[in-house]
């Protein structure tokens, strides 16, 4: 993308959503492969998340968002995975732990994924572009 072309927030959100779909596929494929190799479920989940978050950063920082070049890429990546861990793993885990007695397991999982995706968009926007608006 040329420096003169600027994406709107809507375009960024759509691209982020597409990357999220691909990222979900990466996560599930790695998880399935690790489980097939007899890695315990928690280890497989963490391993799959690590691969998926690296994939997500690579694609989002080069396609979904306009990376702030004044922000060192290592720092942007650290912010991205730190917030991703807090948001993705944290919110989805809390939803699955706290909400099933009230709304059921699958509605809780879906709600956790939706809330995490929305918050992850703004976290990724901040960690890659170094801005919140």
pLDDT at 90: 79
Cα–Cα–Cα angle for 20, 119, 13, rounded to 5 degrees: 50
Domain coordinates in residue numbering, the chain: 9-129
> Phi-psi region for residue 104, left (φ > 0), alpha (ψ -120 to 50) or beta?
left
Quickly tell me which residue has 């399935």 as its tokens: 32
pLDDT along the chain (133 residues), means of 10: 65 90 87 89 80 89 84 85 77 81 85 80 76 58
Is the pTM higher than 0.85?
no
């Amino acid at each position: 993308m040329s420096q003169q072309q600027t994406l709107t927030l809507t375009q960024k959100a759509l691209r982020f959503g597409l990357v999220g779909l691909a990222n979900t596929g990466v996560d599930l494929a790695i998880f399935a492969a690790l489980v097939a190799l007899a890695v315990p479920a928690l280890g497989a989940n963490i391993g799959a998340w690590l691969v998926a978050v690296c994939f997500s950063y690579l694609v989002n920082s080069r396609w979904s968002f306009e990376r702030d070049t004044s922000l060192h890429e290592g720092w942007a990546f650290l912010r991205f995975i730190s917030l991703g861990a807090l948001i993705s793993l944290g919110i989805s885990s809390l939803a699955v732990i706290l909400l099933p007695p009230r709304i059921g397991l699958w509605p809780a999982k879906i709600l956790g994924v939706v809330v995490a995706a929305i918050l992850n968009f703004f976290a990724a926007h901040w960690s890659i572009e170094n801005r919140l608006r």
